[in-house]
Structures are given as C-alpha cells and as structure tokens.
Amino acid sequence: MKQALADALQARGYDKLTPVQEAVTEPEIGDADLLVSAQTGSGKTVGFGLAIAPTLLGEAEKFSKASSPLALIIAPTRELALQVKRELAWLYAQTGAVVASCVGGMDMRDERRALARGAHIVVATPGRLRDHIMRGSLEMGTLRAVVLDEADEMLDLGFREDLEFILGEAPDQRRTLMFSATVPRAIATLAKSYQKNAVRVTTLAEKSQHTDITYRAMNVSVRDGENAIINVLRYYEAPNALVFCNTRAMVNRLTTRLLNRGFAVVALSGELSQNERTHALQAMRDGRARVCVATDVAARGIDLPSLDLVVHAELPSSHETLLHRSGRTGRAGRKGVSALIVPPKARRKSERILKSAKVEAQWCEAPSATEVRVRDQQRILEDATWLQQITDSEITPVQNLVNSFSVDQIAAAYLRLYTAKHSAPEELSPAGSDGPPKPRANFGGSVWFSISGGRKNRAEPRRILPMLCKAGNISKEDIGAIRVADTESYVEISKGSVKTFLAAIGKNMRLEGGIVTQLDNPPALANTPRPSFSARQRDRKPPRGKPKTKSDSAPIDWDDAPTPRKKKPKNTSAPTPAGKPNSKKNKARRAKAAADQKIPSGKGRKKP
C-alpha cells in the first residue's frame, strides 16, 4: 500500500481494513482485472481506491501535473458518483490527485472546463460520460484503469449500451474492475466481454448478510399502512431514517402526511433537480431533517453517517433491491434496523424476498400507540441531561421553579413539553382485522321459493338479491342460496323472515313481473340440463342499443326477453356521418377498393 494512502486511512480513523478492502489489495492480484461481489456498505469505494493506486502511481508516491485522466470511475446515479468523488478526494489527498466529476444535472460547460484543466481521476455517470466522449471533451487514450461501481444497478437502469460504448472507447491495455452486490448472468456476460482473465473476489458478506442490521417484518392491516410507518418512526426515533417507496406519487403522498404530523422530513425522487437533491441530503446530514422519503433509484448510493433506520413503506421488487435498501444502514460498525411494512396480501411475497436474500426477519406487529408511549418514557429516563451538573447560569431559574411549583407540577410540565415536540402515535387495528371475511353462520331452518324466469330471461343472482331485499322487505342476511335454472329461479329464505316476505309481496305473489311460488321441498337441480357456455352468454347479452350493464335493482323482464338483433354488415360505400371526419386509415381503404373495382381502359379492355 502506498504510504500516502496509509496515512490518509490512519487520519480517518481506520484501525483495520474491511474484508473486501483486504481481498482487493492482496499482493498476488497485481494488475489483474477484478470481478468483485461486495455487499452495500462493505467499504468497496475505499477498496477500489486502494486497488487502483499501484496502477495509477506506479513507483511514485505522488502524481505529476494533471492532464488527461488516468482512471475512470462509473457509478449509476449522481448521488453515488458525488459520494465516490468525496471518498477518493480524502483518500488521495496527500498524493496530489485531482478528482473531477461528470454527472447529469450539472452544468456541462463547467465540467468541460475542469476536464480541459486536467484531472487524474474522473468520476461519472454513464449518460453524461458518453456525451463528453462523443463531444471530444474527454480524452480516453491515457486511461490505465476503469472501475464500474454498482454494475448490476447500472444494467437494471438500462445503461448497458452506454457501458459497452464507453468500454469500447477505452484503451485495450487497461485494468477493468467491476464491483457489484450480486453477479447475475448479465454481469458475468459483460465481464467476459470486457475483462481479461479477471480474478473473482467474493467476500463473506455475500454469503451471509452482516449482523449489524436487524430485519423486522411487521404485519399491519391494509388501512393502517401509513399509520404503522408513523409509529415505527416514533418508536425508534432514529437520528436519520430512510423510508423507501416504489413510486414518486407515493413519495409525495407520504412526505405530505409526515410533514402534517410534525416530522422534519425531506423527499428524494427523480423529479427533483440536482440542486434540490443536494439540499435535501445536506439537511439530513446537518440535522435539520431526520426522515428522508425516497424511491429506490434516487436513494442509490446515499451514505448518511447516522442512518439507523430503514423503513420499506412498500415492498421491494426483488431481494437485490431489499439488500441495497437495507445496506444504507448498519454501516461502519453501527447497528441498524430494516423494517418491512407487510399488509396481509403481501405476506407471501415478503417471505419469498426474505428467503431469496438469505435474511432471517423477526415477524411481529407494528409498534402500538401504547408501546410508543412506553418507549418515550424510557427515553426520558435514559436522557443524559439528568446526569449533567447545574451550571451557574441555571441556579437562579431552577430555584425559582422549585419555589413556585411542586415536584409533581414540574415533572408534569416537563412531560408535556416533551410530548408537544413529538408527533402523537397512531392507534392501530389488529393485523388480522381486515383478513378474509368469515363464512356466514347458518341461519337455521329455511323455506324455498321459485320465481318464474331463469337464464333465458337474463336472470342472475347479482340482480335477484337486491330485488328480493327491496320488494320483500328483508335483508341479505335473511337470504340463503340462489339457484338459477333455464326457465325458473329458486331462492332460499330463512323461516323467521318468510312471514315478512309474503306480506311484502302481497296476495298476488308477483315480484317485478315474475310469479312467486312457495315450495314444499328444496328444488332438485342436480339433473337439470345446463346450456353450453356460448348459449348462456348469448342469452345474457342485452339487446342492441341498450347499455351492457344495469344496476342490481333494475327490473327483469321475466315474461319475454327480447331476442338480440343480428348485426348488420357495414356498408363501406355509405357516406360518413356529419360531424365525424374520416380517418386516414378509412380513406386509404376506400381509395384502394375503388381502384380495384375500376374498369381499365385502352388495349386491355374487353369488348362486350
């Protein structure tokens, strides 16, 4: 290792290297290409900075005057590229290295001027880098090393064509280092095409996820998803928390909800400008904001020093995304929590994602309002303020409080002031309260009735049920089975409601045109022949010119259902109705038909 880099690590407080940093700096690797699978947060930025140092510096300890770049670092997002630039800046500070960046959202003219002045290392995003190469503002001939950071994410974002163009423009005699959380087939194919005898480096972190992150899968009811997020944030009260959503719309909605509840929150999504994104992250770093709501792409590469909590407001699409999200916390030896909000319908998907990620999650319910309040009381008692000595400037006001109020009053005032500064927790419903509906209990004895009119008259249970309730003065709980045959329909009504039903329909026993008959025994429908599917569909088809759908309470013509009229063939020669201009497609079709029917003239015309 170069002494200048070793001094920089020592000044930064590095006691020892991480596994991935040790693996990529092994002496036997030399100048070989590398394909490294390293988990997010494992220190791979410093790792590839150390790995390419001998290639860039050679025998020297410091760089000469900057001109064309010697190394190119490619990252998928602006935030990650700028973070890599900051890391390499302090790592190479004593070597005199000039580190430049080329990322989307920045002024391209400033970047061109910086490249013209000279740079040893260029950190860039794929799209902006390709623009510079095509405009001739970036000289590629002197490159000694190319690093692809988060290579799997760049392929997922659709940068494959840009990467192939960039690597194709780079010199053949170069080192190519690919760093990726996982190595799917697409990454292996890219490595085979653009690397030479690459050394495969797999750290232990890939085989078993590091234990600095505690995964909790929280069962919540459908209507309490956002309320559960509020309680999770309040329960942990992390210095920095990151809440992941799948869409920009959800980011905006959740950000508004948290702002209304008094949280210091910022949003991070693709619709924001680079300046807005930079200010949002800076607010998180300096403590003006404590919660960041973001999409996956926007949060790629975020490194917040006090990020102790990651909340998955919506489940990720894959286990790789889960690991990338969760890897924002539990970094540099800190402990972190990754909480998944799991409604009932998402239970199987969450189990599948956790299994694919090789993660053991603790299944539990989201913190209740009572648990949040108990946690608040613990935080109050554990606050370090209680152990601090009273200063000279505080003696007089403290004595005034003691002389004016009792101990209970002072404690109650402190508790109220503490509570006023924090959002109140939400009362949550039990996790299984909105599960599948329970089967209706058997209502005991029943009486069957027949109604004239069946499938041939377009009778359907969804239309018969509201009709019975309205005309028979009963509820749906009083009605059991409804069976529809070809010419009759059968209804089961509870014994306790029969008297009310008969009184409501009257002595004529008619129901919207259908004759109602009380049966002595349940109908035997087992051997009733049923028409084919196509016949049933034809019988149910409403007459031409009427709406295809009706309200459930619409009357049914039980006696005579009209037969659907046959569809008339279209007359292509008919004039277009006034007010409806011909489409280009129809004009072309009619012109071709007219040309085909036209009788040729001249020599080829036959005489009659």
Average pLDDT, the chain: 82
Confidence of residue 571 (pLDDT cuts 50, 70, 90): low
**Smallest Cα–Cα separation from 191: which of 69, 349, 33?**
33
Q: Is residue 328 within 8 Å of 299, Cβ to Cβ?
A: yes
49 and 194 in a common domain: yes
Whether the predicted pLDDT of 340 surpasses 60: yes
Confidence of residue 270 (pLDDT cuts 50, 70, 90): confident
232 and 202 in a common domain: no
Helix (H) or strand (E) holding 201: strand 199-202
The reported pLDDT for the residue numbered 333 is: 63
d(CA 116, CA 67): 8
272 and 179 in a common domain: no
173 and 254 in a common domain: no
Contacts of 344 (CB under 8 A, 6+ apart): 219, 221, 222, 431, 432, 434, 435
Tokens read off for 279? 């200010």
| Residue with tokens 């000595």, as numbered in its chain | 389
The pLDDT tens digits for 459-490 are 888 888 888 888 888 888 888 888 888 888 99
Tell me which residue range forms the domain holding 38.
3-207
441 is a domain residue: no
The pLDDT tens digits for 124-168 are 999 999 999 999 999 999 999 999 988 887 887 788 899 999 999
Whether the predicted pLDDT of 71 surpasses 80: yes
The domain that contains 513 carries what CATH number? 3.30.70.330
The total number of structural domains in the chain stands at: 3
The reported pLDDT for the residue numbered 310 is: 94
Pairing of strands 99-102, 213-219: unpaired
d(CA 415, CA 399): 19
The domain that contains 119 carries what CATH number? 3.40.50.300
The pLDDT tens digits for 582-602 are 556 666 677 766 666 554 444
The pLDDT tens digits for 386-423 are 888 889 899 999 999 999 999 999 999 998 998 888 88
What is this structure's pTM?
A: 0.57
218 and 168 in a common domain: no
Q: Is residue 203 within 8 Å of 39, Cβ to Cβ?
A: yes
156 is a domain residue: yes
Tokens read off for 99? 């580190």
Whether the predicted pLDDT of 555 surpasses 70: no
229 and 112 in a common domain: no
Whether the predicted pLDDT of 280 surpasses 70: yes
d(CA 51, CA 312): 34
342 and 199 in a common domain: no
The reported pLDDT for the residue numbered 439 is: 58
The one-letter code for the residue type at 507 is: K
233 and 89 in a common domain: no
227 and 199 in a common domain: no
Cα end-to-end distance, the chain, whole Å: 102
269 and 180 in a common domain: no
Last residue of a domain, one of 207, 224, 251: 207
256 and 348 in a common domain: yes
Last residue of a domain, one of 179, 207, 235: 207
120 and 25 in a common domain: yes
345 is a domain residue: yes
Pairing of strands 34-37, 121-124: unpaired
382 is a domain residue: no
d(CA 33, CA 146): 10
386 is a domain residue: no
581 is a domain residue: no
Q: Please indicate whether residue 198 or residue 562 has the higher confidence score (pLDDT).
A: 198
Neighbours of 249 (CB within 10 A): 10
The reported pLDDT for the residue numbered 52 is: 93
d(CA 26, CA 23): 6
598 is a domain residue: no
30 is a domain residue: yes
Last residue of a domain, one of 540, 574, 600: 540
**Smallest Cα–Cα separation from 135: which of 105, 84, 169?**
169
| CA atoms within 13 Å, Cβ hemisphere of 56 | 35
The reported pLDDT for the residue numbered 342 is: 94
